Structures are given as C-alpha cells and as structure tokens.
Structure 1
C-alpha cells in the first residue's frame, strides 16, 4: 500500500471490506468469534489454516497495526459482524512505534476503548497477553522485552479488575532472555507453525471456559 493510499485509509478499513459485506448476507453462526490483531493474528490463518477450517472463526488481523488503528476499525471488523466473542491481541507494534510514539498508558487506553465497545454490544472479550520478543527485526536495538512484561502485567490487572477473560500466551512461549522460545518462532517475533499450535491449545481452553 503506497503512502498516499495509506494516508487516505490509515486504519486500512478496505482490507476486509468485501469479506465483511459477504458475511452480512450469510446466516449468522451462533458462536461466531472474531480475531482482532496485527500480523501475529493475520499470519495464524496462513500457518495453520486447519485451525480456522470448519469453525466460526473470522480472522481480522492486519500486519503492522497498532491499537489506534484497530480501535478505528473495531466497528467495521468486529461489531458489525455480530460475533459472540472477540479475541483481542494487540500492543507489540505500539511498543515498536509503528505509528509513532506510544506509552503503555496509551496502549491500555485504546484496548479499554475496544473492550468497552464490545461490552456495549454484548460481545464477550478474551484479552490476550502480548507475545514475548527480545528485539524487533524491523527496529533492532529497541529491546522491548521489559516493556512487554510491564504491559502484560497492566493488561492482566485490568482484566481481573473488570472481570474480563485474560489469556496468557506469554508464559508458555517465553525463554530465559524474555524473548520468544526459539522452537516457536523463526524471527523472534512471529510464531511459526509450532508456536501457533501452542497458542491454539491455550485459546481453545479459554474459549471452552466461556461457552
């Protein structure tokens, strides 16, 4: 996407526009679940298509996105699809500064706004921990590990205080450097097939708890 188009559609609302319109004409699945996130969410369907096959799972991840972008498209890509549940995994790209400077408080505020929008529309929320990362390949030397630890602590505390389901991928995937375990990733940030299989097991248990 060129810079001019990106300025015209900063949150990338057009990415799933056609798919969303098609879903509105389909019979609504009773347990429709939308996955909202960035590349870690988007690439899940590519690495593990069987995980999504024959299930009411809708992937609305967009690579590189930050929480303010997700907040803008939350209505189009989540609420209007009338899901029972939204899986929200976000924050790493904010820490990387993909759309400019962002504090942990700013990240939390955007996530709170998405959670509150979901609640107003009777959508159950599963709030996920940010995955471990020792460094970002596209922004080397940023060493986000400690910020991720702190953000996850803040997210978990918010979830507990507000009776929101919190899903801890981090603890299952972290290594001794507070990065992602090498067996679960090829670049230190994005899960590989094995990593997504670990996440899938954790997620399915979380879904079972609320259904």
Structure 2
C-alpha cells in the first residue's frame, strides 16, 4: 500500500513538473534556441527555406531525412503545436534565420483543441499574421493545406473532416488574393471519406515515409514557384 502511495505521489509530482515547464515556455522557444544561435547567416546565393509547423513537419526529419539532405532546408516543426504557439516563436525560428522562403503547415492541432477551443477564423488569423510577418521581412510564403484527418485519436469528435476542408478553402483563397503559393497536400493524400489514405499514414493523422515521399516533390515545386515570384 505504501509503495502504491509513493508511486502515486511521484507520478503527480512528475506531472506537476511537466505542467510547470510547459507554463514557463508555452511556445517552446527554448527547443531550437541553441541550434538557431549556431546557425550562420545564409551565404550569398543561398536560398534558405524554413519549414514551420507541428509534429507533421518535425516528423519529416525522422521518417524521411533524405528530403533535407543537400538542401538549404531547415526544419522548425514542434510536435503538438498550435498556430498561436507558432506565431509567438515565428521571429526566432523563422525571421531571424533569414530564409528566402517559409513553408507554413499549421492548423490541425488547433482543430483538435490542443491549446483550447479555437474557431477557424482564429486559426486563419494566426496563419495570416505569420504570412504578414514573413512578407514584411522579405520572406516568400508557401501556405500548405492542412492534411486530411478523419478523426483525432487523442481528441475525438472534433469533426476534422468538415473543418479541415473549410480551413483549406480559406487558405487557398487567401493565398490567391495575396500572391502566395498554396501547397495542396490535401488533394493528393485524402481518401474517399476525406481522411488520409491508409498507405500514407501510420495513425490517420501523421504521414509515414510513403506519405512524406508524396509531400516532398510537391514541397520542392512550391518552393521553386515561390522563389520565382517577383
């Protein structure tokens, strides 16, 4: 009985420690701080690209690291993040790295409610703010569609099928009106019920290597298109 109580106390203390650390660095500004400090400014002619996103972006380097090899691509994805968190860290993790292009992939965790309830308009507002910050600093913007998801295992019942489709329509419209490149992963990866095709995912939300192999050439083409814009 005493061992069970001790285990429970230690478990609760670990949870409190985790919650405290999260509260102290809600946007996880510390995650890439050391790497950012070591990163030198782009050399003349270097077309640096930063990938800003959540676990789908962060996981790209784990499941398909070859995509980044030999390219001036920098991964700044953080698992679980929502658009307000990305907006807070957009300056140190994107602007200060002086890229030519930023590829923004965001929104699915907002729909899942990872940092609380958010409307599609609020999600879109945060993405627009990131795009405006990038443009104000001479950075070309690629707006990625949210990837298809039929449901979230960690947060069921949020109707992602409808919300993702609506948000993607908002992103596509904004990109067209503001001369930004829209990167449509969704159409290439969705199945008949508007979830992700099984062959491209290991859990219905995150791509596996085959999923990233689909996304890679699409991202390369979108980046080239952005770089060619006046």
User: Shorter-normalised TM-score: what interval?
Assistant: over 0.9
Structure 2 Cα separation of the partners of residues 210 and 109 of structure 1: 22
Matches within 5 A, 1:25-104: 27=43, 30-104=46-120
Structure 2 Cα separation of the partners of residues 43 and 104 of structure 1: 25
Task: Note if contact 1:145-1:178 (Cα within 8 Å) is conserved in structure 2.
Answer: yes
Structure 1 Cα separation of the partners of residues 145 and 67 of structure 2: 20
Structure 2 Cα separation of the partners of residues 96 and 195 of structure 1: 21
Structure 2 Cα separation of the partners of residues 28 and 43 of structure 1: 30
Task: Note if contact 1:31-1:84 (Cα within 8 Å) is conserved in structure 2.
Answer: yes
Structure 1 counterpart of 2:187, from 144, 151, 171: 171
Gaps of at least 5 residues in structure 2 are 1-16
Deviation at 1:68, TM superposition (A): 0.2
Deviation at 1:205, TM superposition (A): 1.5
Look up the SS of the partner of 1:10 in the other structure. Answer: coil
| Dislocated runs of 4+, deviation >6 Å | none
Deviation at 1:25, TM superposition (A): 6.3
Q: CA RMSD in A?
A: 1.3
Task: Note if contact 1:136-1:143 (Cα within 8 Å) is conserved in structure 2.
Answer: no
Deviation at 1:29, TM superposition (A): 6.5
Aligned to 1:187: 203
Cα deviation code 1:104-135 (max 9, x no counterpart): 00001001100000011000000000000000
Structure 2 Cα separation of the partners of residues 117 and 105 of structure 1: 18
Look up the SS of the partner of 1:139 in the other structure. Answer: coil
Cα deviation code 1:49-90 (max 9, x no counterpart): 111011100000000000000000000000000000000000
Structure 2 counterpart of 1:109, from 125, 148, 166: 125
Deviation at 1:206, TM superposition (A): 1.3
TM-score between the two structures when normalised by the length of structure 2: 0.89
Structure 1 Cα separation of the partners of residues 226 and 41 of structure 2: 27
| 1:139 and 2:155 are equivalent in the alignment | yes
Structure 2 Cα separation of the partners of residues 98 and 179 of structure 1: 19
Matches within 5 A, 1:194-209: 194-209=210-225
Structure 1 Cα separation of the partners of residues 212 and 108 of structure 2: 17
Q: Bigger radius of gyration, 1 or 2? A: 2
Structure 2 Cα separation of the partners of residues 142 and 170 of structure 1: 18
Aligned to 1:123: 139
Aligned to 2:39: 23
Task: Note if contact 1:35-1:87 (Cα within 8 Å) is conserved in structure 2.
Answer: yes
Structure 1 Cα separation of the partners of residues 113 and 156 of structure 2: 12
Deviation at 1:28, TM superposition (A): 6.7
